Amino acid sequence: MDILSALLSGQAMTALAVAISLALVIRNLAVMAGQLPDLRTRLDQVESLLEDLSPRKELAQKLEGYYNTLLEIERENAIAEEKRKDAERIHIHRPGGGAR
């Protein structure tokens, strides 16, 4: 009975919990260490893809700038065309410019 109560004592249970926790931590670290080469390969692949996308991103930004410039030019041309039409209307419909 003394052996059973010694095994169920607080100190023994604490030591058992610590031992189990350490075993789980060590096991998880071993599993992670086994996965590191695979994770490293994936990380290298992702970095490579990001490097491939970087010039495309710059090109997309440049094209967006060209597009915005084109829209601005079209807007300015539309305003100029509208002003030209308004000026033609003024010349055609002059007050007092009719028959004398």
Which has more pLDDT, 17 or 35? 17
Q: Considering the chain, what is the average pLDDT of its residues?
A: 85
pLDDT at 100 (0 to 100): 46
Euclidean distance between CA atoms 55 and 50, whole angstroms: 9
The three-point CA angle 36-37-39 to 5° equals: 60
Distance of CA 53 to the CA centre of its chain: 12
Q: What percentage of the chain reaches a pLDDT higher than 70?
A: 88
CA separation (Å) from 61 to 50, 67, 70, 80?
A: 16, 10, 14, 29
pLDDT higher than 90, residue 66: yes
Torsion sign (Cα): 68, 69, 70, 75: positive
pTM: predicted TM-score of the whole model, two decimal places: 0.41
- Look at residue 27 and tell me whether its pLDDT is greater than 80: yes
Written as one letter, the residue type at 68 is N
pLDDT > 90 fraction of the chain, expressed in percent and rounded = 39
Q: Tokens 């440049």 correspond to what residue?
A: 62
